[in-house]
C-alpha cells in the first residue's frame, strides 16, 4: 500500500472479511517509507524491535481501538528482521510477527495436491513444527478452496479468529500460515467464514492427535517417525504363510472391574498382546481406532482419519502398543473406513460451505443405512486425502496391513438403494468408477511404497477380481473376506444335526469358487451383534452339543483353505452377544476347568498346529493344496479332505457333524502308512467325550473311493479330526 490503511480495510481485516491479510499486515515498502502494521486485539502499546540488535525502532500507532496498529519506521528503507514488543493488560510480551514470513506451500507440493497424486499429503497439510529464519513455530496448511476466510485459532492465540487469518493460495485452494511460538501439545482448530458467509470452527482433517470426546479440538504434535517393516513381518503376510487373525475392539476386550473404564494403550500392551501371543494367533486386527465422535459406531464412523483415538491414551502410546505387538511376533492389521463419514459440524461435512469432501446430491453423497456422508472419490484432492491416509498408518505407525471396510458400498452406486434412488455412472452402469479407480490407485501405491504390507477387502458381492491386479481388471487387494463361506457354513451349523443331510452342499459349495480370490475365512464381530446371538448360542442342541458343534466347526474352519479370522470372545465361546460397553465375559474362565476352557484350549491348539504343519496353509490359493476324499456322504453328514503342501506332504481332515459316532468309517487315501491324530475336537482335553482312534491308525491295502489304500477310523460325535502321516 502507498498510504496508511483506510477504515474500510481495517474494518474488513478485523471482521474477518479481508481477502489477503498478508497484503495489509506485516512490513511493507510504501511511498511514505518502511511501514509495519499489526492486528493485536486488546493490546495497549506496540513497539517494533530490531531482532539483531534488540533496539526499539518505532512505536506503532493504534489506528483502531479494536487493535489495529501501524507506523512508518524512521530512517529505514530496506526490510529487516523484527519482533513486536506488545503490552497486554500491563504485561509486555515479545513476539514474532506471523506476517513477516513468506509463502509456505512449495510449488511441487501444490501441484501434486491439486493433481491428487501426492503420495504423502500429510507431510504438507496439517500442523507441522517448523523452524523458519531461526524462529520455532508451527506451520498450518488447510485445503478449503471455497472459504472466504480461514484463521487458525488455539491455545496460542486465545482462540481468537482475528489474530491469525491465513494466506490463501488460489492455485491449489490451500490456506497457510506460520505461527511463531505455537508448539507441540497445544490445541487448535480452524475458524472458517464459509462460502455462504457462515462462521464455523472445524477440526483439522489432517490432525495427528485430537482431544478426548466429546471435545473436538486438534492437537499440534508433529509427524511420528517412520517405522521400517522388518523382513519377518513381511514374510508373515505372505500368501503361503499361516495367518490366524484375532479381531479386537480395544474398548471392550477387557475393562477395569472397579469402574468399567477402558484399559489404556499401555495396559493393553501388557495384557492383550501376551494373551494373543499365548493363544497362537499370528495377527492382531483392531476395529477402527481412528478418532470418532460416537462410541456406538465402534470406530466405523471416523472423523479423525489421521489421529488414533484418545480414549485409550496418546498417539505415542498407541505407537508403543504397536511396537510391543511386533516385539511379540504379532503383525497388526487396522480396520480402515474410507467409504463414509459422519455429518458432525466440526468435521468434514460442508467443510468450506460447499460439499467439499462429499457429493452434493444425496443420491450419491448420503448413506441412508448409516446416516453418514459418502466421500466424493471423483474429486482428486479427496481421493488423495484418503490414499495418503492409508500409507500414513503403514509408514508412520508400522501397521502391517489394512482391512478395508464396506467395499461393496463404495464400488456400487445402487448399494442398498431402490430404483430411482441412485445415479448411474457415465456409461449408465451401477459401478462407482471413481471409487474403483481410488481403490486400485491406493492398493498400487501401498504395494510400491510399503512392500510387504497387505490390504484385505470386506466385500460382500461377487465383484470379479477383488484380489486380482488392476492391470487384469481387479481391485488390487491382497485378500478378501469370504463372506459367502461364512454365511453358508453358519447356516449349516445352525441346523439340527437330524436335518443337516439336506444342507450338505452348504459345506462344500465354498470349494466351487475357492480359487477365484485369495480368501480370509471370517467369524467377525458382525456375526455376534444385532440379535444374531453368539456363535455358541447359534449352535443347536443341549449345552454339551452346543460346545461340541462349535469345537467341530472351529476345527473345520482352521483346516479349510483360506486365512483365518476370529473375533474376540469367540475363542472361549462367550455365551452372549458382544456388547461394546462392557468387558468380555472373562468370568466364564474363572473357577473350575469347564467347557469354555476346553474351547479356548482347542483354539490355541488349532493355531499352533495350523502354523506348524505347512500343508494347512502353504497352498491356500492353489488347487494342488486341497482334495476331497469324501464329499458326498450327506446321509451321515461326514466330510473328509486332504490339505497338501508343495512337497506333497498331506494332512487328512475328517468331520462328523452328527451326534452319532461313526465306527469303522472307511475312506480311500493317497498315501499309505501310519496316520496320527494331531487334533481331535472331541478329546477330553477340550471337554469332549474322548472318542477317538488311540493316537495312530495304520492304513490298509483295501480299495475305497477309487483309491487302492484306505483308513478305517472312528469318527467321534460332532467332531473334526486332523491326521498326519508319520515318517516310515
Report, as residue numbers or ranges, the catalytic residues: 405, 458
The rounded distance, in Å, linking the Cα atoms of 556 and 616 is 11
Query: Cell for 169?
Result: 493460495
- For residue 214, whether the previous peptide bond is cis, meaning omega lies within 30 degrees of 0, is yes
CA dihedral 177→183→188→192, nearest 10 degrees, is: -10
Query: Cell for 425?
Result: 455412472
Query: Cell for 470?
Result: 488392476
Tell whether the torsion through CA atoms of 190, 193, 195 and 201 is positive or negative: positive
Chain Cα centroid distance, residue 515: 27
Paired with 335 in beta bridges are 403
* Helical ranges in 398-453 per DSSP H: 407-411, 433-449
CA distances for 375 relative to 392, 434, 570, angstroms: 19, 10, 34
Place of cell 531461526: 134
The rounded distance, in Å, linking the Cα atoms of 99 and 20 is 11
Tell whether the torsion through CA atoms of 333, 338, 342 and 348 is positive or negative: positive
- Residue 395's contacts (CB-CB under 8 Å, 6 or more residues apart) are 120, 226, 227, 449, 450
The rounded distance, in Å, linking the Cα atoms of 18 and 20 is 6
CB 55, CB 49: distance < 8 Å: yes
- Residue 448's contacts (CB-CB under 8 Å, 6 or more residues apart) are none
CB 258, CB 579: distance < 8 Å: no
One DSSP character per residue, 308-328 reads E-GGG--HHHHHHHHHHHHHT
Amino acid at each position: 500500500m502507498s498510504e496508511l490503511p483506510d477504515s474500510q480495510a481495517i474494518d474488513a481485516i478485523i471482521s474477518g472479511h479481508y481477502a489477503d491479510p498478508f497484503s495489509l499486515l506485516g512490513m511493507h515498502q510504501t511511498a511514505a517509507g518502511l511501514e509495519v502494521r499489526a492486528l493485536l486485539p486488546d493490546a495497549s502499546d506496540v513497539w517494533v524491535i530490531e531482532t539483531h540488535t534488540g533496539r526499539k525502532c518505532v512505536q506503532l500507532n493504534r489506528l483502531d481501538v479494536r487493535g489495529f496498529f501501524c507506523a512508518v519506521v524512521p530512517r529505514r528503507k530496506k526490510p529487516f528482521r523484527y519482533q513486536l514488543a506488545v503490552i497486554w493488560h500491563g504485561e509486555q510480551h515479545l513476539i514474532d510477527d506471523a506476517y513477516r514470513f513468506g509463502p509456505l506451500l512449495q510449488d511441487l507440493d501444490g501441484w501434486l495436491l491439486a493433481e491428487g497424486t501426492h503420495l504423502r499429503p500429510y507431510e504438507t497439510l496439517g500442523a507441522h513444527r517448523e523452524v523458519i529464519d531461526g524462529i520455532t513455530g508451527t506451520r498450518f496448511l488447510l485445503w478449503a478452496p471455497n472459504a472466504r476466510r480461514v484463521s487458525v485459532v488455539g491455545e496460542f492465540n486465545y482462540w481468537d479468529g482475528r489474530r491469525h487469518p491465513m494466506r490463501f493460495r488460489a492455485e491449489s485452494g490451500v490456506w497457510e500460515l506460520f505461527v511463531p511460538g505455537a508448539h507441540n501439545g497445544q490445541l487448535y482448530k480452524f475458524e472458517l467464514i464459509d462460502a455462504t458467509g457462515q462462521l464455523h470452527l472445524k477440526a483439522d482433517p489432517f490432525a495427528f492427535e485430537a482431544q478426548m470426546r466429546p471435545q473436538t479440538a486438534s492437537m499440534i504434535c508433529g509427524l511420528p517417525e517412520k517405522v521400517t517393516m522388518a523382513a519377518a513381518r513381511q514374510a508373515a503376510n505372505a500368501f503361503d504363510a499361516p495367518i490366524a487373525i484375532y479381531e479386537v475392539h480395544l474398548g471392550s476386550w477387557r475393562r477395569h472391574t472397579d469402574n468399567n473404564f477402558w484399559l489404556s494403550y499401555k495396559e493393553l500392551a501388557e495384557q492383550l498382546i501376551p494373551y494373543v501371543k499365548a493363544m497362537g494367533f499370528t495377527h492382531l486386527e483392531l476395529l477402527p481406532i481412528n478418532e470418532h465422535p460416537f462410541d456406538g459406531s465402534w470406530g466405523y464412523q471416523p472423523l479423525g482419519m489421521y489421529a488414533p483415538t484418545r480414549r485409550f491414551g496418546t498417539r505415542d502410546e498407541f505407537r508403543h502398543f504397536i511396537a510391543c505387538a511386533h516385539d511379540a511376533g504379532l503383525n497388526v492389521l487396522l480396520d480402515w473406513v474410507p467409504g463414509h463419514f459422519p455429518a458432525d459440524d466440526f468435521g468434514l461435512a460442508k467443510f468450506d460451505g460447499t460439499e467439499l469432501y462429499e457429493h452434493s446430491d444425496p443420491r450419491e453423497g448420503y448413506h441412508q443405512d448409516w446416516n453418514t456422508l459418502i466421500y466424493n472419490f471423483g474429486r482428486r484432492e479427496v481421493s488423495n486425502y484418503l490414499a495418503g491416509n492409508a500409507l500414513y498408518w503403514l509408514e508412520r505407525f508400522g501397521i502391517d496391513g489394512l482391512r478395508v471396510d464396506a467395499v461393496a458400498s463404495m464400488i456400487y452406486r445402487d448399494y442398498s438403494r431402490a430404483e430411482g434412488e441412485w445415479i448411474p455412472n457415465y456409461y449408465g452402469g451401477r459401478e462407482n468408477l471413481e471409487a474403483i479407480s481410488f481403490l486400485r490407485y491406493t492398493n498400487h501405491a501401498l504395494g510400491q511404497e510399503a512392500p510387504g504390507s497387505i490390504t484385505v477387502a470386506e466385500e460382500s458381492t461377487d465383484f470379479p477380481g477383488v484380489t486380482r491386479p488392476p492391470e487384469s481388471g481387479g481391485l488390487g487387494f491382497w485378500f478378501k473376506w469370504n463372506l459367502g463361506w461364512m454365511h453358508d457354513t453358519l447356516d449349516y451349523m445352525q441346523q439340527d444335526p437330524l436335518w443337516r443331510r439336506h444342507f450338505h452342499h452348504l459345506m462344500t459349495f465354498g470349494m466351487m469358487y475357492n480359487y477365484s480370490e485369495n480368501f480370509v475365512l471370517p467369524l467377525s464381530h458382525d456375526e455376534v451383534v444385532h440379535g444374531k446371538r453368539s456363535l455358541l448360542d447359534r449352535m443347536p442342541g443341549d449345552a454339551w452339543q452346543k460346545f461340541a458343534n462349535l469345537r467341530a466347526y472351529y476345527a473345520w474352519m482352521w483346516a479349510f483353505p483360506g486365512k483365518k479370522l476370529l473375533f474376540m470372545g469367540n475363542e472361549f465361546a462367550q455365551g452372549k452377544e458382544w456388547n461394546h460397553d462392557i468387558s468380555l465375559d472373562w468370568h466364564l474362565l474363572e473357577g473350575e476347568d469347564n467347557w469354555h476352557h476346553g474351547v479356548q484350549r482347542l483354539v490355541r491348539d488349532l493355531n499352533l498346529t495350523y502354523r506348524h504343519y505347512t500343508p494347512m496353509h502353504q497352498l491356500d490359493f492353489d488347487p494342488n493344496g486341497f482334495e476331497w476324499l469324501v464329499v458326498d456322504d450327506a446321509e451321515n453328514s461326514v466330510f473328509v479332505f486332504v490339505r497338501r503342501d508343495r512337497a506333497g506332504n498331506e494332512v487328512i481332515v475328517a468331520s462328523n457333524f452328527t451326534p452319532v459316532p461313526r465306527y469303522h468309517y472307511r475312506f480311500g487315501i493317497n498315501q499309505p502308512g501310519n496316520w496320527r491324530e494331531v487334533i481331535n475336537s472331541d478329546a477330553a482335553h477340550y471337554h469332549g467325550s474322548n472318542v477317538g482312534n488311540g493316537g495312530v491308525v495304520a492304513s490298509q491295502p483295501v480299495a475305497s473311493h477309487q483309491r487302492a489304500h484306505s483308513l478305517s477310523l472312528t469318527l467321534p460325535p460332532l467332531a473334526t479330526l486332523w491326521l498326519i502321516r508319520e515318517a516310515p
